[in-house]
Structure formats: C-alpha cells, structure tokens
Amino acid sequence: MARSTIQIPGPLRSFVAGTREAVVDSVTAGAAIQELVRQFPTLGRHLLAADGSFRPSVTIYVNDQDVRYLRREATPLQDGDVLSIVPALAGGSEPVALGSEMPRDRPLGLEELRRYSRHLLLPEVGVAGQKRLRDAKVLLVGAGGLGAPTSLYLAAAGVGEIGLVEFDQVELSNLQRQVLYTTHDVGRPKIEAAAARLTALNPDVRVTPHPGRLTAANALDVLRGYDLVIDGTDNFPTRYLVNDAAVLLGIPNVYGSIYRFEGQVSVFDATRGPCYRCLYAEPPPPDQVPSCAEGGVLGVLPGLIGVLQATEAVKLITGIGEPLIGRLLLYDALAMQFRELHLNRNPTCVLCSPAATQTGLIDYAEFCGVGEPPEGRAERVPTVTPEELKAELARSDPPWLIDVREPNEWAIAHLEGARLIPRGSIPEHVSELAGAPALVLYCRSGNRSGTATRLLLDLGFTNVRSLAGGINAWAEKVDPSIPRY
C-alpha cells in the first residue's frame, strides 16, 4: 500500500464537499481513484466509465506524468505520489519564429522606434523581433474575458494584424473582467467596440473583424492566412473546432481556459507537439462543467490567463524563449499556485497522429453532445412562462416551486415560497418531491432547471416543468423589483 494525495480541481469540488485534496492508500492509480469514488460516490460518473476505466474527458496525472503514457489504471503508486485530476475546462522544442522567415525590409519609422523602444532595448527582441511582430497576423477567437487582455497587449506590442471572431454584444455583467470595454459600450457589438479600442491604442495595428460565430463551414477560411490562433472561447464545440482547424492548417493554437478561480494555458502546435485532442480525446458530457455564466469567474483570472496567452504569442512570433508546447500550465488563484504538467502527443490521436482518421472538420455540436444551443435543450422539456406561473401560484393548489441554483445565487434573489435544492442535490430529494401535486423548477436563465426537469422526467415524474428564462425572465416579465444578474 502506498499513501498518495489526490488533488481535486475546482469543477469537481462541489461533489466532494469542497475538499481540495484527499489522501488515499492504494497500490495503483486506478485503485486510488476507485477509493476516492468510494468516499465521494457522486464523483463516479465524472471520472470513471461504465467498465471502471478512466473517462477520456478527464486526464489523470501521477506527479507530472499522464497515466495514459505510464500504465493507465495499473500505474503503480509510491508513498508521497501526487495524483492530479485534470478535467477539460468550458483549455519544449527549438524556438522558431512564425510567419515569414525573414522580416520584411521596410525599416521601423521614427514613431515606431519611439513607441517600441522598450522592446528594442531587449537584445532578444530588438529591431528584428519588432519587425516580426509588425509582420505577424494573429487571430483571436472570442473577444471576451481572455480575448480582452490578450488583444490589448498584442495591439500594444505592435502585432501587425489582429483578427477578431466575435458575435456578442457588450453586457453590463461583462465589465467585471472584459477590460477592453467601457460602461459606454454596453449594448454595442463587441467586435465594433474592440476594433475602436485597439485602433485607438495603436493605429499601426490593422484590426480585421470576423463578425458572427466560428463554424465548421467557415473556420478554415477564417483561420487561413493567420500565423497563429488564440483560443479565447468559452465552450467545448468551438474549442475543438479551433483546435482541429489549427491542426489542419498547421498553425499553433495558444490555448487558455478558465473556471471560477482556476485556469489552464498551453500551446498546441501539432507540427511540434500535442494538440488539444491529444489531451482530451472527448469532451465531457454536456452540463458537467458549467459555463462562467452559471459558475461565475473571478474577474482578474482571465486577465492573468489572457496575458499568459499573449506572452506565448509574442514569444512564438519573435522566436524567443521556450514555448509552452507539450506543457500544460495550471493556475489556482486561491492558493496562488502555478503547476506544470507534461503533455504527450497521443500516438493514436484521430487528428494529429500518423494514424489520424479525421481529415476535415466535423459536426462539433453533435460531437460534444449539444445538438442544439443550451436554450434549445432546455426547451425540449415542458416549460411554463413567467406569466403562466404567476397565475398558477395565485390558485388554491399552486405547484411547488424549486430553486435549483446555488445558495449564493439564492442570496442574490429568489422567488417567494420557493425551496432551495441545488441541481446537484436533487437526486437526494426525489422521495420528498414525489409528494408534490406539481413541480416548477427554476434557475437563473432556464438551462439548469431544464436539465433538472429532464432528470426528474427520466426518473418517472410527470408533473414537472421548468420556468422558461429562469428568475431573470420572471424579473423582466412579472416582478421588476427582483434583480437580474
């Protein structure tokens, strides 16, 4: 028996009563995870497949090595080993400069010499590096929490062309972290506000807008011609799409992802190292990892992760330093800790290995099990509108109102007469709920209550519905005194 420590990442901590580490006695990695699941049974479906093997959407490390390249579940453990569970988050070789081999000859002008003098003073960057930056073309997919700091620093650094893919508009709740935008921009298309801000920061930079969503139909055309892509997305279908298009075009993908207080950064460059699919062959099941809109995110976190992405981009462009290829950097803001894990190329990766079977882009919504947008999935369960619910609550036999959000959201606002049962604890309350004449479940916007309604329907409930649009719709349509968030 060896005594080892299992580090539990943020997205899974709600299943282990907030525990950050567990100590287990076992001889193999597989037995250690089984022991963890014995202590916390609800973790089982997140970590293990039906046959007891590790799920492909979760990567297990022993110390800094991926068990898939050791002996998988049979990897032996020794006293003091540290196991890390690295879930997919809703993200060393010779330095080689990207783009043209030699920077174009046009000399830096007087203004450029002044603007970039602190770069020019660095022998590692110098005039040649600054010209490489001027010649570089970088595409940012997403101008949100990660894209905001990344694009600001790349524009400041003098990257010649910055492409932006973004479909959204600026919302008040974005401003807590998306420092590219101001209060005046609320309601404005992000791509328009971003282009204005970046051009104001550095008029030498050409900002190329790609309004709309990145899709399998347009991704290759959008990415083609860029020297590298920066993944600032917040969902798995787009993350896989960015990875696949970058691998097919042979350009590096500077990856970043965030969740609440934790982030991941890496550089996926299939010409020199692993791709995102080598790390996660499959996405986690839909709804397993909530989005920032559901789970929240510390405002400064994407600032730090985005700046790390910008740093890697500048290094790749100028060809200096050690790129984060084949390494996954993990950051925990609460512990203020950085850790680094070694990433291997998967010799059977469907996309980037010699045995690759995938030669083009696929249907990413289907691949990630999200056939329709989240609203669409929630709509497939019976719903009730805020106005209908108001009328039903006034009757003599009102439905039971169940709030499936988390206690901190309940503290922001909740509906009168409702009962708080967070979505994750619903299975423990099934027998009480079975006594209800009818049930209406609600959350913030209708997604979580939709999946909770689906869960109860699958358990045989027939009298359960989800409040369409959640408490935010109720606030909009019925009771404006309730804050929307």
Judged by the rule CB under 5 A, the positions of this chain that interact with Zn ion are 275, 277-278, 349, 351-352
CA angle 473–173–331, rounded 5-degree value: 125
* One-character DSSP codes across 311-380: HHHHHHHHT-S---BTEEEEEETTTTEEEEEE----TT-TTTSTT----S---HHHHTT-SS-HHHHHHT
Q: How far is the CB of 93 from Zn ion (least distance, A)?
A: 15
Query: 86 or 456, CB closer to Zn ion?
Result: 86
CA distance linking residue 171 with residue 188, whole number of Å:
8
Query: 350 or 393, CB closer to Zn ion?
Result: 350
Active site residue 443: yes
Query: 280 or 331, CB closer to Zn ion?
Result: 280
Q: How far is the CB of 325 from Zn ion (least distance, A)?
A: 12
Active site residue 278: no
* Active-site residue, selected from the candidate residues 275, 278, 349, 443: 443
CA distance linking residue 466 with residue 365, whole number of Å:
23
Q: How far is the CB of 342 from Zn ion (least distance, A)?
A: 15
Helix (H) or strand (E) holding 293: helix 292-295
Q: How far is the CB of 68 from Zn ion (least distance, A)?
A: 12
Structure tokens at 136: 């570089």
Query: 251 or 440, CB closer to Zn ion?
Result: 251
* Active-site residue, selected from the candidate residues 275, 278, 292, 368: 292
Q: How far is the CB of 278 from Zn ion (least distance, A)?
A: 4
State phi, psi for 255 to the nearest 5 degrees.
-95, 140
DSSP state, residue 160:
S
Q: If we measure between CA atoms, which residue out of 359, 291, 304, 367 comes closest to residue 336?
A: 304
Query: 191 or 279, CB closer to Zn ion?
Result: 279
Query: 112 or 244, CB closer to Zn ion?
Result: 244
Q: For strand 206-211 and strand 65-66, is the pairing parallel, antiparallel, or unpaired?
A: unpaired
Burial 319-345 (b: 16+ CB within 10 A, else e): bbeebbbbbbbbbbbeeeeebebebeb
Q: How far is the CB of 239 from Zn ion (least distance, A)?
A: 13
DSSP-based three-state secondary structure for 263: strand
Contacts (Cβ under 8 Å, ≥6 apart) of 9: 84, 85, 86, 87, 262
Residues involved in catalysis: 292, 443
